[in-house]
Amino acid sequence: MAKITVAYIPYNTDVGFLRIKQQYIDIDHWRTAFFIHVYASMWVLFAGFTQFSSWLLKNKPRLHRALGYIYVADVLLITGPAGLIMGFYANGGLWSRVAFVLLAILWMFFTALALIKAKQKKFKAHRNYMIRSYALTLSALTLRAWKYAITNTMALPPMDVYRVVAWVGWVGNLAVAEWMIFRQKKISLHKKRDFDNMFKTPL
Taking the whole predicted model, whether its pTM rises above 0.85 is answered as no
For the stretch 3-50, pLDDT in tens is 555 555 555 565 556 655 666 676 788 778 887 878 788 888 888 888
What integer pLDDT is reported at residue 14 of this predicted model? 59
For the stretch 101-156, pLDDT in tens is 999 999 999 999 999 999 999 999 999 999 999 999 999 899 989 988 998 888 88
Side-chain-side CA neighbours of residue 94 (13 Å)? 0
CA dihedral 104, 141, 146, 17 (to 10 degrees): 80
44, 74 Cβ separation under 8 angstroms: yes
DSSP state of 25: T
Domain boundaries, the chain: 2-200
Check residues 52 and 173 and name the one with the higher pLDDT: 173
For residues 141 and 144, what is the distance between their CA atoms, to the nearest angstrom? 5
Cis peptide before 10 (omega within 30 of 0): yes
For the stretch 49-75, pLDDT in tens is 888 888 888 899 899 999 999 999 999
